[in-house]
Amino acid sequence: MNYLRIHNATHALPTTKSELYIYAFIVFSVALWCRMRWQYRQFYRLADKIKGPPSYPLKGSIFDLSTTPEKIMYNFKESAEKYNYEPVKLWVGPFLFVGVYKPEDVQIVLNSSKALEKGIIYHIIRHAVGEGVFTAPMGKWKKHRRVIASIFSSKFLDQLYPIFNENNKKLVENISKHVGETQPFDIWDYIISCNLNNVSQAAMGYNLNDQRTLSEFVLAMKKVSELSKCIVKPWLYIDQIFAVYTYLTGLNVYMSQLNRVSLQIIRDKKLEFKSTKSQQSTNKSHEVAPEESNKNSTKVFLDKLLKLNDEGADFTDEDLKDEVITMTVAGSDTSAISECFCILLLAIHQDIQDKVYDEIYSVLGDSDREVIPEDIFRFKYLEMVLKESLRLFPPGAIFSRKINENVKLTNFELPKGSNVFVSPYVTHRCPQLYPDPDTFNPENFSPENETNRHKFSFLAFSGGPRGCLGRRISNDYINRIVIAFIFGVKYAMISMKLMMVAVLRRYSVHTECKMSEIKMQIDLLAKKADGYPITIRPRKRTQDRTFI
């Protein structure tokens, strides 16, 4: 009997190297799991208190090998609806995220000085657009924000009207070849080209039609934006693995090209700035009036940055490069997506398009004159339409913050180190905020409805200190650390209004696309998956301003 016991016990032990490796792996995995449970115990305690979909080892709540950014966005929406828009826990692989949707909780997070750091997903996005004010770590953001915000005065924006008007005129001419066609065409390529010209001239002083270098810049930027798809692949957050991935996919070539071209543009501009400064010094010694020497000079974003740098702002070439790329992305893709959606929605809703055209006619009549700064605030209904389009299809559908100290929400306290995400796409479709939320209804942004709604119910331009909203926050501390970053709202609204006026005063737009058919795709931003198909017809004006 004793012999049998010894014999059986001997056979219970591993007898081969492969068995030893398996046992070692199991022991290591258990030890690693126990260590993670202890190290991140505050997050597991938080997860026990918050509702959310079930989680599985490694996979998490919403992650698997086939996960896409689009699938995650729709999962966010489904989980928010299921849990009545309360905070929701979602595991992406081993990373815990807390989804915050109600305006009251969103305001707490976005206004908190304890939540100024961008979330973990921006580790990937920084590879695409660098560390400009949109993605920069908190320390760098604090250093740069005042300098960047000081550039965007009304005077600076007003000088951009001729640029916008000229490029919009070319846009209208370029799409004229489609007049009368019954086959739809995709308006995207025309709109994005126009916006890229706008922002390249406003940011760098270059016209894309004249500069091969800028064409390389645009191509590289488009390719690098594909990196945003990596945010659903947690293993790529490890720098060494990410480097191998970009090498194997060829994205490292475009990343290098984007950096090279951007730095070359900056070097050229610095030489131009030195030359201009030298000329101004010469003019001053010869008593030439400054306004005479600068009479037709448009001071673009990079000019302003270089001037501020010369006065002690202390931006490196890398800093300048990151800010220029950030402005290019913010001022081109964001506006282009919003304009394309707006045109498509007006093509679907002819009655609303009629009202927009009537407003344009009331301001400009039958004239072909260009829109001037004094006109822009008269397009009130058009602004309502643009905001409603942004509500339904915000280009920045998801963004995140990392909590540096404990933050108390309405019902929960988020521990230090938490990753919080906010989804404008989800908040904008909350029925408690917007009745019949999937319907296109510009009256959602009538003055009365906007006044009666929580100010963080509309997040198309983010919000709080790190948002693009050109408004002051009531908290005194926040007021001291933030100069209102007016660029997001003012630049975007001016450029969008001018383009919409240019197109709609000349053409009526039509489509066979239905609201229910619109599917989203997320690269760096959220856009329509299969383009924006429309047809156009020339406007025929009559005395009663009706459509023919």
Q: What is the pLDDT of residue 481?
A: 34
Q: Which residues contact 457 (CB under 8 A, 6 or more apart)?
A: 103, 427, 428, 430, 433, 434
Residue 480 banded pLDDT, cuts 50, 70, 90: very low
Among the ranges given (234-243, 358-367, 451-460), the one the predictor scored with the smallest mean pLDDT = 234-243
8-state DSSP, 541: -
Which tokens is 320 given?
């300048």
Annotated binding site: 468
95-100 and 419-422 beta bridge pairing = parallel
Residue 70 vs residue 399, higher pLDDT: 399
- Cα separation, 106 vs 91, whole angstroms: 20
Q: What is the pLDDT of residue 146?
A: 67
Determine the residue type at 203.
A
Whether the per-residue pLDDT at 203 is higher than 60: the answer is yes
Determine the residue type at 7.
H
Q: How far is CA 437 from CA 316, 442, 513, in A?
A: 46, 11, 19
pLDDT digits (tens, 9 = 90+) for 35-63: 766 766 666 777 677 777 776 665 566 55
- Most confident segment among 61-65, 292-296, 299-303, 450-454: 450-454
8-state DSSP, 369: P
Annotated binding site for heme: 468
Q: What is the pLDDT of residue 245?
A: 85
Whether the per-residue pLDDT at 293 is higher than 50: the answer is no
Among the ranges given (186-190, 297-301, 393-397, 518-522), the one the predictor scored with the smallest mean pLDDT = 297-301
Q: Which residues contact 357 (CB under 8 A, 6 or more apart)?
A: 504, 505, 508, 539, 545, 547
- Cα separation, 445 vs 429, whole angstroms: 14
Q: How far is CA 451 from CA 113, 125, 246, 390, in A?
A: 26, 35, 48, 18
Question: What is the domain partition of the chain in residue ranges?
Answer: 43-277+298-544
Q: What is the pLDDT of residue 548?
A: 37
What is the architecture, at CATH level 2, of domain 43-277+298-544?
Orthogonal Bundle (1.10)
CB-based contact 127:237 (threshold 8 Å): no
Residue 301 vs residue 520, higher pLDDT: 520
